Homo-oligomer: A and B are copies of this chain.
């Protein structure tokens, strides 16, 4: 399948197809759109020499945050997911490299990319919509859309958030705070909704004074503990929708002489294995970030090879794990570690002889 096929289908010459592929400004917009549509329909593949490229793009719509534990886990999963079909992963960044006048498809084809895993944020949902509208193969990670043309894979944390807060209620807690980062994010809104569901189910009021928003850093978590414990009617438990907040909170509580869980129960959220690195080990809602990346890549590479036009609309439940950072209100004895909804987790391969730093307790 070459420029020639596209040219025939679109009713233009191969010169025009080439011009569109290279985004020359001389092409009439309607012609351009028709050619791009045909190229996406036929699954046009950029060639290297005369071989088809097999690059899968890991796309940041905004500033890349590769070094973060969540991103690293997702990327590790994406890499594993490309193995079966033999695709390579290439890191691409819209903000850095996309030219303003070119379409997404043109940008991707220029990079030799046949499909993209989109790592995005709430503010760039329109970018996901535009890529889907052009018909370019894609999967959005950790978002959810109503439009059936947009493919996504998303962790469903609302139910476990409710379960987590229900668990606190069952331990006798009545003043339960919620800590979340201070930037709008659908994931985190879900967790807030789950928290509110549980409060209502337990006949507890939703108190805005118990909802804290801070940057998702250790310092943010510390600030929340500080603020929460110095209010008039302080909470006896906090559910954090972010790992860093929870870890910072535990550190801060201990340095304030507040015992966890005797004086304060803490539930966190974990995408990796960070919950095992703190003392006490964190009771947490756990999301398999690596699994999200794996699922996205393995589905997308198949869709590309099969030239199907399916969408992926997959929601993966989280898991609620009870560890040591939660206990009865008022400081009873600790409960034994156990898991309420054990789900299979697929850890990334841990090589030998390297300096890997992942927690594998």
Q: Which residues of A contact B (CB under 8 A)?
A: 21, 46-49, 51, 53, 55, 62-73, 75-77, 79, 83, 86, 88-92, 96-97, 110-112, 119, 121-123, 142, 183-185, 187, 215-219, 242-244, 247-248, 250-251, 254-255, 271-272, 274, 276-279, 281, 290, 348-361
Given B46, B247, B357, which contacts A49 in the complex, CB threshold below 8 Å? B46
| Interchain CB contact under 8 A, B90 and A97 | no
A51, A242, A244, A350, most chain B CB atoms within 10 A = A244
| Interchain CB contact under 8 A, A142 and B48 | no
**10 closest A-B pairs by CB:** A67-B76, A72-B72, A68-B356, A121-B353, A63-B351, A69-B357, A67-B348, A66-B76, A183-B353, A89-B91
| Interchain CB contact under 8 A, A47 and B49 | yes
Known contacts A53-B48, A361-B218; is A351 also within 8 Å of B272 by CB?
Answer: no
Nearest opposing residue in chain B for A243, CB measure: B357
Nearest opposing residue in chain B for A351, CB measure: B63
Residues of B close to A356: CB separation below 8 A? 65, 68-71, 216
Nearest opposing residue in chain B for A293, CB measure: B67
Residues of B close to A75: CB separation below 8 A? 66-67, 72, 75
| Interchain CB contact under 8 A, B66 and A359 | no
Nearest opposing residue in chain B for A92, CB measure: B88
CB distance from A344 to the nearest CB of B (A): 17
CB distance from A83 to the nearest CB of B (A): 6
Residues of B close to A21: CB separation below 8 A? 49
| Interchain CB contact under 8 A, A279 and B277 | no
| Interchain CB contact under 8 A, A279 and B278 | yes
Nearest opposing residue in chain B for A69, CB measure: B357
A219 to B217, CA, bound (A): 26
Given B112, B121, B276, B359, which contacts A112 in the complex, CB threshold below 8 Å? B112
Residues of B close to A119: CB separation below 8 A? 354
Known contacts A48-B46, A219-B361; is A142 also within 8 Å of B65 by CB?
Answer: no
A53 to B355, CA, bound (A): 31
| Interchain CB contact under 8 A, B278 and A277 | yes
| Interchain CB contact under 8 A, B279 and A112 | no
| Interchain CB contact under 8 A, A351 and B83 | no
Nearest opposing residue in chain B for A74, CB measure: B67
Nearest opposing residue in chain B for A124, CB measure: B353
Residues of B close to A187: CB separation below 8 A? 355
A71, A112, A243, A255, most chain B CB atoms within 10 A = A71
Nearest opposing residue in chain B for A350, CB measure: B65
A55, A67, A76, most chain B CB atoms within 10 A = A67
Residues of B close to A76: CB separation below 8 A? 64-67
| Interchain CB contact under 8 A, A272 and B357 | yes
| Interchain CB contact under 8 A, A251 and B274 | no
Known contacts A83-B96, A91-B79; is A354 also within 8 Å of B121 by CB?
Answer: yes
| Interchain CB contact under 8 A, A217 and B88 | no
Given B70, B72, B250, B349, which contacts A63 in the complex, CB threshold below 8 Å? B349
Given B51, B91, B219, B349, which contacts A65 in the complex, CB threshold below 8 Å? B349
CB distance from A75 to the nearest CB of B (A): 6
Residues of B close to A121: CB separation below 8 A? 351-354
Residues of B close to A357: CB separation below 8 A? 68-70, 216, 242-244, 271-272, 274
| Interchain CB contact under 8 A, A278 and B276 | no
Known contacts A91-B88, A185-B355, A279-B250; is A64 also within 8 Å of B349 by CB?
Answer: yes
